[in-house]
Amino acid sequence: MHNKLSLLILPILFGVSLYILSVQGLGSIPGQGENTTHASQTKMKASEFPENMEWLNTGGKPVRLADLRGKMVLLDFWTYCCINCMHVIPELKKLEARYPNNLVVIGVHSAKFLNEQVTENIRQAILRYELEHPVVNDDEFRIWSAYGVHAWPTLVLVDPEGYIIAEYSGEGNYEEIDRQIEGYIKWWRQQGKKLDETPFAAVLEKLRSGSGPLSFPGKILADPDKDRLFIADSGHNRIVITRRNGQVLDIAGSGEAGAKDGTFEEASFFHPQGMALDGDVLYVADTENHLIRRLDLISRTVTTIAGTGQQTGFLSAGGLGRGAALSSPWDLALVGNNLYIAMAGTHQIWVMDLTNTLVEPYAGTRREGIRDGTLDGSDWAQPSGISSDGKKLYVADSETSSVREIDMDAKLVRTVVGRGLFIFGDSDGGSNEARLQHPLGVLYHNGLLYVADTYNHKIKIVNPVENTAKTFLGSGRPGHKDGGGGEFYEPGGLDFVDGKFYIADTNNNAVRVADTAGNVTTLEIKGLKPQL
């Protein structure tokens, strides 16, 4: 299927960023695009879903639009790597909760990356994002093409008679979609037309998934001075603190999704990711709350130090502490009094001065791309991992499948390995040959960069001097296998201490341990009860 894709550069309007893709030769690229709504001028029948497609959250049974007459239907064209698609998910959940008897949301997953074409990988994303509506694997872009879609995310609203009402590109369209749905339901009732007000019966993937001590751990941090590991137990909305042997020492967070400060037992998080340690203070990127949290490990308290709790507008310039709106902070690196933030939602690197709480953009134009150069002239695309040697920052720039470097003295950005938004793969070699696929984590250690090459299910070693990449761990297949090289399933982050690498093996719901020779084991988490 991927051989049918052809990409060209097209100008994009300003606003919330979109990914733009062409199918069968009609091309484009991601850039910046405004949220757009296209109302249907003439009634156009919504295309029926093709047969022989793989469905999730339906018990494997296909969904037919013809069977949904009498309901509003909202098609969500998405790909699970895309931060803008992630930002739409809370809006979809609000609409589903507001119209439980009248609206059916259907996710049409049209993959950007090869790894995302696999139905089981989509199922893991459904579990990770807690989706409860039907999702179809549109791996050959058949539905995408039938609806003339050009961007991730795109939402298409269909009326109870099966006609397209409007199309929305980008995020932040909740109010307009809500207005349309409410208006159409009211009008239908006034006209005396029949509505199907029976709730759609989904068969949730989570009902056939077991529970365990960890749920989609995103990042991990090892304390070099004390026998401690910090695990972002993202799916359980908490931070788990263990010894290096896996014995649980403490847990921060009630497990409920929320943004409450207080004691470790009272506090709540929402899918936390990256962390940074300063003695007995732990900083946490509370990703889906759009917050930075401070954990006092002695008093066992959690305090919010940055973020309003609302996602920032696309052109935010930051501000002081709690007054600065953020957008999906994904990872942190502490250098002196500066806390550097991989701000995935705005495609930038931000920095927080911990002495005065000022948090502001540090590098990136907000355009999606891989342009090097000055800090304010560089382009990034969903940076998701960050590490430092004290003089330079190293960033896993996930959507360009690259590793980038920031010289903090020269204030310059350069690409170590990686080529662009739609150039990815799995190959070792120099900068011209090396290919990654949506890396989420990077670790600086002893002059080298260890990269969680997430969609290749590998850990790779990147040499920032020679601009080379080579496989260190993983076979390239998703799996859970210990021993020499091991197998992983979309690892998201890693750290190193005392001769061992600790890896957040996200889709395996596990922490893996590897020595420098590449021997892999699975860490047994002791004293942590399985969560529902």
Is the separation of the CB atoms in 118 and 1 below 8 Å?
A: no
Is the separation of the CB atoms in 131 and 57 below 8 Å?
A: yes
Domains defined along the chain, listed by start: 2-208 (3.40.30.10), 220-522 (2.120.10.30)
Q: What is the structure's pLDDT at 486?
A: 98
Which of 37, 42, 38, 43 shows the shortest CA–CA distance to 163? 43
Residue 3: pLDDT over 60: no
Of residues 470 and 431, more confidently modeled: 470
Q: What is the structure's pLDDT at 315?
A: 78
Q: What is the structure's pLDDT at 252?
A: 98
What does the mean pLDDT of the chain come to?
A: 92
What is the number of other CB atoms lying within 10 angstroms of the CB of residue 186? Answer: 10
Average pLDDT of the segment spanning 459-467: 98
Local confidence band at 27 (pLDDT 50, 70, 90 cut-offs): very low
Residue 212 burial (CB < 10 Å; 0-12/13-18/19+)?
middle
Q: What is the structure's pLDDT at 208?
A: 77
Q: What is the 3-state secondary structure (H, E, C) of 40-80?
A: EEEEEECCCCCCCCCEECECCCCCCHHHHCCCEEEEEEECC
Half-sphere exposure of 175 (CA within 13 A, CB side): 2
**65 φ, ψ (degrees, to nearest 5):** -60, -35
Q: Starting at the edge strand that comes first in sequence, how are the strands of the sheet with 383-388 ordered?
A: 373-374, 412-417, 402-407, 392-397, 383-388
**Residue 267 token pair:** 């506090």
Q: What is the structure's pLDDT at 42?
A: 66
Q: What is the structure's pLDDT at 529?
A: 79
What is the number of other CB atoms lying within 10 angstroms of the CB of residue 382? Answer: 29
Residue 238: strand pairing partners: 233
Give alpha helix (H) positions in 99-222: 119-129, 142-146, 174-190
Average pLDDT of the segment spanning 407-423: 97
Average pLDDT of the segment spanning 145-169: 96
Residue 169: pLDDT over 90: yes
Percent of the chain with pLDDT over 90: 87
DSSP per-residue letters across 287-315: GGGTEEEEEETTTTEEEEEE--SSBPPTT
Is the separation of the CB atoms in 403 and 392 below 8 Å?
A: no
**Residue 277 token pair:** 């340690």
Average pLDDT of the segment spanning 392-421: 98
Q: What is the structure's pLDDT at 316?
A: 82
